[in-house]
Amino acid sequence: MISASDLLVLMKVRLNALVVFTAAAGYYLAVWGPLDVTDGAIACLGTALVASGAAALNQVAERDLDRLMLRTSDRPVATGRMSSTTGGVIAVALGAAGLGALWYAANLTAVAVAFATFLIYVVIYTPMKRHSSLATVIGAVPGALPPLIGWTAAGGALMAPTPWALFAIMFFWQLPHFLAISWLYRDDYARAGLPMLSVIDRDGRMTGRQALVWAAALVPVSLLPSVVGLSTPAYAVGALILGVGFTALAGYFAVQRSIASAKLLFLGSITYLPLLWILMTATKVQQPVAVPVSALPALNATLNATSAILLTIGWFHIKARRIQTHRRFMIAAFVSSSCFLISYVIYHVQVGSKHFPGTGIARTIYFSILIPHVSLAAVVLPMAIVTLRRGLRRDDARHRRLARVTLPIWLFVSVTGVIVYVMLYRIQWT
């Protein structure tokens, strides 16, 4: 029998309160008329369920590590009070229920963003934690997406500048926040063998510098809502004051590198964020101008071209045996291709398919490129995910065998994707 307390721990209810808060704020900021409280509440519930499902799968995957750390050793899967199979089933059910709730109360764009959040957290961030301190940066991506889920659930355009301003604020805020946490629990992370920056950087100089740099960078980023026309100048003044205060705490931590200064930075981070969001919602003004859906084909072609360039650069780095740099370019290519996939789905859900207007030899060339492109695109997605996971887990022999096949197919799909979009939509970059 599963106890209610174990279920709540598995779902990380307390931590996911932040997810609900930012998703609700994103939903409210996208509404320019009467607020549908019922749909908004269901959308926030759906977001929370997706986040809980991802957190539960994380606990299942990391049960061996959780047993080694004092602060996680009493988690239900780690202790054996709940089997990994039961935990996995509950996790998948939570994620599916959350996506279903978003589909019912919102739209497929919100579902796509939530599903991307789930995948990045479970498939990329979770395994990467065991192998690289860069996992903290990667983990900030799914942590920054809940406001976009709320924004799109309310009908806001994903390609407007505003939701990405909200994303940027959450992304930059998470880095000093988590660096403070990692310093507080560095002994726990070291006990589990996790290569967190605070574990690798024994004297803390790099940890302190990074916390300060990310907090300082957050100051101009936090002003973006006023820049894009979402909030009044009063917000910018308040955000600037809050940002300077938060940066001062990060600077103090960078100098002291003590438990006390890390606690102060952590407390400052969890005070700063709600105050910033409250200020933002209180000073909301006019609706920002969205990028039209007609611009998405050009964006899709650009994302494909970006993936092709990143893959090519990554190939040169692996030939030169610069493995860490190669890994970074492969992750960037995967992110670019994932963004393309999300944009592709959004466009075709809203617009539908477009028939090729050309005739004669142009039509023959187009379909001779399109058919292998579509066929191989369906094949390369799972291959890219498996290849990336093997690389992050440092399963080098199996990774290399699959990568030799995945890379050329992935590169072919990216290059032909650009050609297909240029031919179909007559794209001209100006």
Looking up residue 412, the CATH number of its domain turns out to be 1.20.120.80
Measured CA to CA, the distance from residue 108 to residue 118 in angstroms comes to 15
* Residue 170 maps to a domain: yes
Confidence of residue 294 (pLDDT cuts 50, 70, 90): low
Backbone angles phi, psi at 386, to 5 degrees: -65, -45
23-35 tens-digit pLDDT: 999 999 999 878 8
pLDDT at 172 over 90: yes
Percent of the chain clearing pLDDT 70 (strictly above)? 95
Tokens of 358: 């050309």
In this structure, are 217 and 139 located in the same domain? no
Residue 62 burial (CB count, 10 A): 22
Q: Please provide the DSSP assignment of 76-89 as one string.
A: HHHHTSS-HHHHHH
Question: 254: closest CA among 307, 216, 298?
Answer: 216
Confidence of residue 291 (pLDDT cuts 50, 70, 90): low
In this structure, are 202 and 239 located in the same domain? yes
pLDDT at 429 over 60: no
Average model confidence (pLDDT) across the chain: 87
Extract the runs of DSSP E, i.e. beta strands, from 121-208: none
User: Which of 133, 158, 183 delimits the end of a domain?
Assistant: 158
In this structure, are 212 and 343 located in the same domain? no
Looking up residue 148, the CATH number of its domain turns out to be 1.10.357.140
In this structure, are 283 and 304 located in the same domain? no
* Residue 61 maps to a domain: yes
In this structure, are 145 and 190 located in the same domain? no
User: Which of 158, 184, 217 delimits the end of a domain?
Assistant: 158
Domain extent, residue 131, equals 1-158
Q: State mean pLDDT over 323-338.
A: 78
Q: What is the pLDDT of residue 121?
A: 94
* Residue 185 maps to a domain: yes
Confidence of residue 287 (pLDDT cuts 50, 70, 90): low
CA 84-85-87 angle, 5° bins: 65
* Residue 421 maps to a domain: yes
User: Which of 242, 270, 291 delimits the end of a domain?
Assistant: 291
Measured CA to CA, the distance from residue 56 to residue 97 in angstroms comes to 14
Q: What is the pLDDT of residue 288?
A: 53
* Residue 430 maps to a domain: no
Give the residue carrying structure tokens 């979402």: 230
The CA radius of gyration of the chain, in Å to the nearest whole number, is 22
Measured CA to CA, the distance from residue 83 to residue 89 in angstroms comes to 10
Question: 23: closest CA among 90, 89, 105, 94?
Answer: 105
Count structural domains, the chain: 3
Tokens of 170: 């959450």
Q: What is the pLDDT of residue 292?
A: 61
| Residue 259 C-alpha from the chain's centroid | 29
* Residue 368 maps to a domain: yes
In this structure, are 5 and 108 located in the same domain? yes
* Residue 327 maps to a domain: yes
Q: State mean pLDDT over 87-109.
A: 94
In this structure, are 133 and 170 located in the same domain? no
* Residue 79 maps to a domain: yes
In this structure, are 137 and 23 located in the same domain? yes
109-152 tens-digit pLDDT: 999 999 999 999 999 899 989 988 888 888 999 999 999 999 99
In this structure, are 177 and 259 located in the same domain? yes
In this structure, are 7 and 144 located in the same domain? yes
**Helix (H) / strand (E) containing 238:** helix 233-256
Contact 210, 197 (CB under 8 A): yes
Looking up residue 242, the CATH number of its domain turns out to be 1.20.120
